[in-house]
Amino acid sequence: MKRLIFWAVVIVLLAMAPFVLRSYNLYLLNLAAVKIIAAIGLALLTGYTGQLSIGHAGFLAIGAYGTALLAQHFGLPFWVGIPVAGLISGLAGFILLIPALRLTAIYLAIATLAFGTAVAEALPRWAAVTGGYQGMRVPRASFFGVNVQNDVAMYYLALAMTVLLLLVARNIVRSRVGRAFVAIRDKSMAAQACGVSLAKYKALAFFVSALYAGLAGGLYAHVVGYISPAEFGLAKSIDLFIMIALGGMASLPGPVLGALFLTYLPHWLSGFRGLQSIIYGASLIGVVVFMPFGIWGFVRKWTAPDKVQSLPKPLRAAVAFVRGGGGA
Amino acid sequence: MKRFLVLAMAAVCVVGASWGLLAQTPGVTDTTIKLGSFIVQSGGVAFIGVPVMRGAQAWYSYVNDELGGIHGRKIEFLALDDAFNPANTVAVMKRLVEQENIFALVNPLGTIGMAASWTYILEHQLPVVSPHMNWLTLASPTVPHVFAIQPNNESFGRAAAQYAVLELGAQRVAIAVVEDAMGTELLDFALDELKVQGKQPVIVVKYPGTETSFSAYALALRQARAEAVLLFSYVSDAAKLIVECDLLGFKPKFVGINTITLQLYDLAGEAAEGVVFPGFGTDPQDPTSEAAAAMRAVYARYYPGELMNAYAMIAYVGAQMVTKALMDAGPNLTRQALIDALDAFTGWDADGMIPAVTYRPDDHYGIKTLWMNRLVTVNGVRTAEFITEWDWSEHR
């Protein structure tokens, strides 16, 4: 009950953010939400199921372009366009299932890389539809005739999607499906021997992961209002992978922390002319060296029972809440 | 006494009104003018962004240090790194407008960033001066508060096609084009212009921006028996293609775009001889130009030991245009005063560093006339020889 109240307070505080934050801060939070959703999807696939993917920007692109094109050509509102584009992306996830059933580790990573590259290359060549290299402007979002293409409305949409998808992910990892994912990651042959169908659960992992990335892409299209193929290249896939590696792969708070870190750090550093890349790189190296299990791993280590006992009582209570938030 | 009171009240009203006027102008105080920009400083495009930032910063610093600012106000030039990522550009723009409260956007770099933040700029009616991009939308249709300076891709694409057909007399024109936003826009205009001139390209060779080997493309151009090749490429790619053609013994006439500079000689050697390219600025290293020498001296003061290249030059000139407009706008600076000052620009050429710029309320194109140059060796010195001025709209 106490925890429920705690999270209710957190949600209320987040819901009040538009009353105190400027459009710029809301926009950054919206971008962070996009990355959180995509990173959670990747964590389910890579962190929990052990299927390495470095082509996830392809799904992000399918979601973004799908949402924009559904709005442009079929007049679908954003609240229909985003889920439909997410589903299309999820179905495209099955494409990766074919190599995933035969390949593992680095070989699967190469196959996913090929998928991501193929999508990034196909988009500009389909110029008549996608606007080519110049990109395309995303039609303004409206809700029953009311224009909601603004940072406040997008913030509430992003917040709702993030909370909902976090809860869904939490339920997945705590269910039989989640345990099957972990079993496949830890020892696929043993999992099979225990009756876990590799094909079925890998297919599910790819579908869910691609669905999350597609939904994130759809949200991204409306948050930024403009999409171009250059945004969905290899660098974006690597970024997503870094997010979950930095935050902590096999956890749900990890991708959230990694996404927040990689959203805000470049903006904090944007005024450091010429030093941005150096500070950015050094920060990443620092995190990897001093937090080998990611930021969430670091937090968990320092909130271990023996360490927590020495904390003041209010902090101990706070740690108890946070630690209960998830983790494999 | 009564008269004194009336006068005093009138004075208070005037001062109050003036203060109110100033207070309403974003980014302007009694002592400063805050100008904002997005210029990539990291990643693959930083080789353009760093000199652009330095060129602009050098001039603004010089104005502050030597000229005491503009009408007593020092310039605060806040250039943020958007990493050439449109989502970041939008964030940077919101920060500049909402948190930093800038007066105007000056010297921004990159078409996709501008395209992503275009709606936001229009909604906020933010003055944009000296944008460093070839994006046609900046000037067509005219936006009252946006002032392009560089020629756009329509100018470059059409001029290259016209020059190959009308000046070089080529009957068989080929096009080699990089597959990106710049290349596709140039290609569209060149194809249209060739059609206007009654020609079709004998071949269009498209290559990805990541390409490293150009032998196959050179072979395709030779097999098409092209007499002239329009090079819509970055300088390093252009050098590789020209060298490959040379190795095949295939020597068509090459007509490039503004990405071609004297650097092509360093990269392609003798094979670069005779390449024609349009420019819109004097080479900052030109030993015969006094304006270029003055520019180099200012640049060296703030960036000692750094070679000033063409990117730094156009940013420097762009910054000069900004400060001239601010000066012309007068001490009671408002955004409308800046726009009015720019709309009155007539034949401004930065002491001969660029072709003359004239703005009118319905014409914010900036530079329209291109300077066609040819790479030649004169007395053992490799140089870019000026051939002629070229305005595509006059060759229809």
Residue of A21, A22, A23, A24 for testing the chain B interface, max B β-carbons within 10 Å: A24
Task: Residue B86: list chain A partners with CB under 8 A.
Answer: 135, 224, 226, 228, 230-231
* Region B25-151+287-365: CATH code: 3.40.50.2300
Buried b (16+ CB within 10 A) or exposed e, A115-153: bbbebbeebbeeeeebbbbbbbbbbebeeeeeebbebeb
pLDDT of residue A100: 72
The C-alpha atoms of residue B128 and residue B144 are separated, in whole angstroms, by 10
Domain boundaries defined on chain A: 2-323
pLDDT of residue A249: 83
Query: A231, B185: Cβ pair inside 8 Å?
Result: no
pTM, to two decimals: 0.82
The C-alpha atoms of residue A315 and residue A143 are separated, in whole angstroms, by 43
B231 strand-pairing partners:
B176
pLDDT of residue A274: 64
pLDDT at B13 over 70: no
Domain B154-279+371-394 CATH (choose: 3.40.50.10420, 3.90.220.20, 3.30.460.80, 3.40.50.2300):
3.40.50.2300
The C-alpha atoms of residue A313 and residue A318 are separated, in whole angstroms, by 9
The C-alpha atoms of residue B344 and residue B63 are separated, in whole angstroms, by 22
B187 touches chain A (CB under 8 A): no
The C-alpha atoms of residue B273 and residue B375 are separated, in whole angstroms, by 5
The C-alpha atoms of residue B302 and residue A307 are separated, in whole angstroms, by 53
Query: A224, B116: Cβ pair inside 8 Å?
Result: yes
Contact status, residue B151 vs residue B370, Cβ threshold 8 Å: yes
Do B25-151+287-365 and B154-279+371-394 have matching folds? yes
pLDDT at A306 over 80: no
Nearest-by-Cβ selection for B98 from A22, A226, A266: A22
B181 touches chain A (CB under 8 A): yes
Residue of A60, A226, A236 for testing the chain B interface, max B β-carbons within 10 Å: A226
- Å from A224 to nearest chain B CA? 6
Neighbours of A275 (CB within 10 A): 14
pLDDT at A214 over 90: yes
Nearest-by-Cβ selection for B81 from A24, A127, A273: A273
pLDDT of residue B45: 81
Q: pLDDT band for B9, please (50, 70, 90 cuts).
A: low
A220 touches chain B (CB under 8 A): yes
pLDDT of residue B217: 96
User: What residue type is assigned to position B367 of the chain?
Assistant: I
pLDDT of residue B6: 56
Task: Residue B124: list chain A partners with CB under 8 A.
Answer: none
CA-closest candidate to residue B267, choices B234, B296, B220: B234
The C-alpha atoms of residue B129 and residue B146 are separated, in whole angstroms, by 6
DSSP letters spanning A261-289: HHHHHHHHTTTSTTTHHHHHHHHHHHHHH
Contact status, residue A63 vs residue A215, Cβ threshold 8 Å: yes
Nearest-by-Cβ selection for B86 from A133, A231, A273: A231
Q: Token digits for B187?
A: 């290609």
B210 touches chain A (CB under 8 A): no
A147 touches chain B (CB under 8 A): no
Task: Residue A276: list chain B partners with CB under 8 A.
Answer: 41-42, 81, 83
* Region A2-323: CATH code: 1.10.3470
The C-alpha atoms of residue A84 and residue B152 are separated, in whole angstroms, by 39
Q: What percent of chain B is modeled with pLDDT above 70? A: 94
Query: B90, A224: Cβ pair inside 8 Å?
Result: yes
B112 touches chain A (CB under 8 A): yes
- Å from A98 to nearest chain B CA? 28
pLDDT at A9 over 50: yes
Chains A, B: CB contacts within 8 A come to 99
B91 touches chain A (CB under 8 A): yes
Q: Token digits for B211?
A: 């390409």
pLDDT at B191 over 60: yes
Q: Is A298 exposed, middle or buried (0-12, 13-18, 19+ CB in 10 A)?
A: middle
B254 strand-pairing partners:
B229
Query: What's the mean pLDDT in A181-187?
Result: 89
- Å from A133 to nearest chain B CA? 5
Domain boundaries defined on chain B: 25-151+287-365, 154-279+371-394
Q: SS3 of B102, please?
A: coil
